[in-house]
C-alpha cells in the first residue's frame, strides 16, 4: 500500500510540474515584443546625380628591377601579405658579386701602395732633415703619398658602388601591404625598369570616377558626396568621403576628368581594390516634388517581395512597397505602398513575430 501511495504522489507531482511548465511557457509567449518604429515623412530631396566608380588603393607601388640578369627566384604570388623590406624576388648576382670582389682587390692593392708610400715619405723626411736629400725629393715623396690616398678613396667608392649594385639583385617590398599582381616569373630576364611585382596597402582606399565635361560643374558644386557599396547582406552602405580632389587634366579622347574621393578607413574596411561603387553627388537645390522616405533598415526583402511592416491597432501588418532611388543617409524613396504619417517598423524581422508591438516612435 505504501508503494502504491508513493507512485500516486509521484505522478501527481509530475502532473503539477508539467502544468507549471506549460503555464510558464504560455506566460513567456504572451510577453510583448517591443519593436522600434519610425513615422513615414514626405521630404524634399535635392537633385542628385550618380556615377559608377571603382575602388583604388591610395598607396600602391609597382616594384621594378634595378639590375640586369636572370630572375633567380620569385618568392611571392598575388594575394600574399608582405612586410616592408621583405624580399620579393632575387636576380642572378654572380656578375655583381664578381664586381664586389674586384673592388675589394683594388682596395687591398691601394692600401698596400699607400703603406709603401707612407714608409718612403717618412724615410725621405728623415733624410732631408739630415741634409742627405733635397727638398724636391721630399715633395715628390709627399705627392706620391697623397696620390695613394686618392687611389684608396677611389677604390673604396668603387667598392661601395659595386655593393649597392649587388644589393639591387634583391628586390624588396617598399611598405607593408598585399601583392596585387606579379609581372614576371623565375627564369625571365630582368632589366632596369622592368616591372616585377605590384604591391598595395589595404588602407586607406579611395573611390575614383571619370566625370564627363558636361557634369564637371555639378560635381564641383555638390553640397554632399556619398559613396555606395552593398554589404555582405546585400544592403546599400553609404559612406561620406574624407577628402575629394580632381586631377587637373582631362582625357583627350573621352573628355572626362578623374575625381578621387578618399574613404574613411573604419567604414571602408573589407573593401578591395577594383570593386565597383556608386558615387552620388547631391546638389543644394531641392526638387519641387515631395517624396516619401523610409530608412533602409525598415525595408524587408524576400526574393522578389519588397515590403515594410506598418503598425496597426493589433500589431503589425505586412505591406508591399515600390521603391525608388537610394538617398543615402535620408533613406530610400517609396513610390507606392505607404502614406505620410504611417508608422513602420525599423526591425522587420522582430515585427513579423507573434505579439510584436510598436515601441517609441522615431520622427
Q: Tell me the pLDDT tens digit for each residue of 113-131.
A: 889 989 998 998 888 888 8
Bridge-based pairing of strands 305-312 and 315-320 is antiparallel
Residue 77's domain is classified under what CATH number? 2.40.50.100
> Do 248 and 282 lie in a common domain?
yes
Band of the pLDDT at 258, cuts 50, 70, 90? very high
> Do 118 and 70 lie in a common domain?
no
- Which of 110, 144, 168 is a domain's end point? 168
> Do 85 and 217 lie in a common domain?
no
* Owner of C-alpha cell 715633395: 139
User: Is the residue at 15 inside a domain?
Assistant: no
- Which of 168, 191, 214 is a domain's end point? 168
Q: Which residues contact 159 (CB under 8 A, 6 or more apart)?
A: 100, 103, 104, 106, 107
Number of compact structural domains in the chain = 3
3-state secondary structure of 91: strand
Mean pLDDT of 301-307: 83
> Do 75 and 107 lie in a common domain?
no
Which of 154-163, 295-304, 343-352 has the highest mean predicted lDDT (pLDDT)? 154-163
> Do 98 and 207 lie in a common domain?
no
3-state secondary structure of 55: strand
> Do 185 and 320 lie in a common domain?
no
| Bridge partner list, 250 | 257
User: Is the residue at 3 inside a domain?
Assistant: no
Bridge-based pairing of strands 60-64 and 195-200 is antiparallel
47 alpha-carbon distance from chain centroid: 31
Residue 217's domain is classified under what CATH number? 2.40.30.170
More confident residue, 287 or 27: 287
Short-list 363, 322, 349, CA closest to 35: 349
Mean pLDDT of 89-115: 87
- Which of 153, 168, 183 is a domain's end point? 168
- Cα–Cα distance, 330 to 348 (Å, whole number): 19
Residue 147's domain is classified under what CATH number? 1.10.287
User: Is the residue at 333 inside a domain?
Assistant: yes
3-state secondary structure of 235: coil
Distance linking the first and last C-alpha atoms of the chain = 72
User: Is the residue at 314 inside a domain?
Assistant: yes
Cell of 121: 715619405
Label residue 87 left, alpha or beta by phi (over 0 means left) and psi (-120 to 50 means alpha). Answer: beta
* Domain extent for 85: 66-91+169-200
Mean pLDDT of 332-361: 80
What secondary structure letter does DSSP report for 150? Answer: H
User: Is the residue at 116 inside a domain?
Assistant: yes
> Do 138 and 176 lie in a common domain?
no
> Do 157 and 174 lie in a common domain?
no
pLDDT tens track for 205-237: 999 999 998 888 888 888 888 888 776 556 667
- Cα–Cα distance, 177 to 80 (Å, whole number): 9
pLDDT at position 259, please? 93
Short-list 120, 127, 109, 108, CA closest to 146: 120
User: Is the residue at 211 inside a domain?
Assistant: yes
Task: Please report, rounded to a whole number, the percentage of residues in the chain having pLDDT higher than 90.
Answer: 23
User: Is the residue at 127 inside a domain?
Assistant: yes
Q: Which residues contact 320 (CB under 8 A, 6 or more apart)?
A: 305, 306, 307, 337
Residue 112 has pLDDT above 60, yes or no: yes
> Do 134 and 214 lie in a common domain?
no
pLDDT tens track for 333-344: 888 888 888 888
> Do 83 and 99 lie in a common domain?
no
pLDDT tens track for 67-83: 888 999 999 999 999 99
> Do 157 and 177 lie in a common domain?
no
Beta strands in 138-235 (DSSP E): 170-172, 177-182, 189-190, 195-200, 205-212, 224-230
User: Is the residue at 79 inside a domain?
Assistant: yes
pLDDT tens track for 29-50: 457 777 888 888 777 666 677 8
What secondary structure letter does DSSP report for 132? Answer: S
> Do 164 and 299 lie in a common domain?
no
278 alpha-carbon distance from chain centroid: 17
3-state secondary structure of 40: coil
CB 22 within 8 A of CB 327: no
Amino acid at each position: 500500500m505504501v508503494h502504491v501511495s508513493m507512485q500516486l504522489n509521484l505522478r501527481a507531482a509530475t502532473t503539477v510540474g508539467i502544468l507549471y511548465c506549460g503555464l510558464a511557457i504560455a506566460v513567456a509567449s504572451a510577453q510583448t515584443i517591443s519593436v522600434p518604429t519610425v513615422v513615414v515623412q514626405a521630404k524634399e530631396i535635392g537633385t542628385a546625380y550618380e556615377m559608377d566608380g571603382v575602388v583604388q588603393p591610395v598607396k600602391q607601388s609597382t616594384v621594378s628591377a634595378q639590375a640586369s640578369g636572370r630572375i633567380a627566384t620569385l618568392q611571392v604570388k598575388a594575394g600574399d601579405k608582405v612586410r616592408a623590406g621583405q624580399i620579393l624576388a632575387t636576380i642572378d648576382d654572380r656578375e655583381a658579386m664578381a664586381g664586389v670582389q674586384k673592388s675589394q682587390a683594388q682596395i687591398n692593392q691601394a692600401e698596400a701602395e699607400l703603406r709603401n708610400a707612407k714608409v718612403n715619405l717618412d724615410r725621405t723626411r728623415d733624410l732631408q732633415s739630415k741634409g742627405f736629400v733635397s727638398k724636391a725629393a721630399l715633395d715628390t715623396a709627399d705627392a706620391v703619398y697623397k696620390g695613394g690616398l686618392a687611389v684608396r678613396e677611389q677604390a673604396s667608392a668603387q667598392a661601395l658602388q659595386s655593393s649597392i649594385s649587388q644589393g639591387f639583385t634583391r628586390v624588396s617590398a617598399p611598405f607593408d601591404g598585399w601583392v596585387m599582381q606579379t609581372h614576371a616569373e623565375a627564369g625571365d630576364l630582368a632589366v632596369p625598369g622592368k616591372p616585377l611585382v605590384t604591391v598595395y596597402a589595404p588602407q586607406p582606399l579611395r573611390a575614383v570616377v571619370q566625370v564627363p565635361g558636361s557634369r564637371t560643374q555639378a560635381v564641383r558644386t555638390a553640397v554632399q558626396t556619398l559613396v555606395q557599396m552593398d554589404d555582405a547582406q546585400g544592403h546599400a552602405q553609404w559612406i561620406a568621403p574624407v577628402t575629394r580632389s580632381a586631377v587637373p587634366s582631362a582625357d583627350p579622347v573621352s573628355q572626362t576628368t578623374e575625381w578621387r574621393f578618399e574613404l574613411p578607413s573604419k567604414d571602408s574596411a573589407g573593401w578591395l581594390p577594383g570593386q565597383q561603387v556608386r558615387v552620388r553627388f547631391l546638389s543644394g537645390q531641392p526638387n519641387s516634388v515631395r517624396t516619401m522616405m523610409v530608412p533602409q533598415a525598415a525595408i524587408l526583402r524576400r526574393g522578389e517581395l519588397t515590403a515594410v511592416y506598418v503598425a496597426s491597432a493589433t500589431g503589425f501588418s505586412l505591406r508591399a512597397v515600390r521603391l525608388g532611388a537610394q538617398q543615402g543617409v535620408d533613406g530610400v524613396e517609396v513610390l507606392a505602398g505607404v502614406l505620410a504619417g504611417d508608422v513602420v517598423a525599423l526591425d522587420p524581422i522582430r515585427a513579423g513575430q507573434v505579439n510584436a508591438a510598436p515601441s517609441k516612435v522615431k520622427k
